Structure 1
């Protein structure tokens, strides 16, 4: 799914909380988040929460697949990280080995080439 650059994590989170019929108070108290931090997330004053908190949020929100993917993608984009769901899966060493079999190292290492001239 392509990210719509006009939507931000904070807006998506607010929408998902509303769609889950949760009050903001119920949401942040259930997660154990302090009120000021929660409202800083909702206002976009701080980066999206770390991956562990993202997973906890989604357990409460019960999103659609599309919402879940967008949630992880926006959080990762704003945190400048790999999406939390992908990062979690990449902890599997066997999967990493399989993925590396298909990497074109000549191509990716060429982009970082340092020429000693």
Structure 2
């Protein structure tokens, strides 16, 4: 049973980003969203650590953030924070999909 360290780091970055948004701009929405998505990503990383095929919560969380933050980045063209979160979420989606393809059984 391998620990999903990249998923846990991603969760910590999401939560830290929400706290930073609250501290810098006083945005309660950023705080709530960061903590909620950080918690979802952490639970997803824990589930993936227990069973490498149980990645659906992680994939849903990262995929949702990829779309939402990607659209925010495309509308503002500001890298921080939307571009960075879209980039990190895209990397997580790619990692999860690559892991799914790697652990998929081959039928003969």
What TM-score, normalized to structure 2?
Answer: 0.37
Which protein has greater RCO, CA pairs closer than 8 Å, 6+ apart?
A: 1
What TM-score, normalized to structure 1?
Answer: 0.35
More helix by proportion, 1 or 2?
2
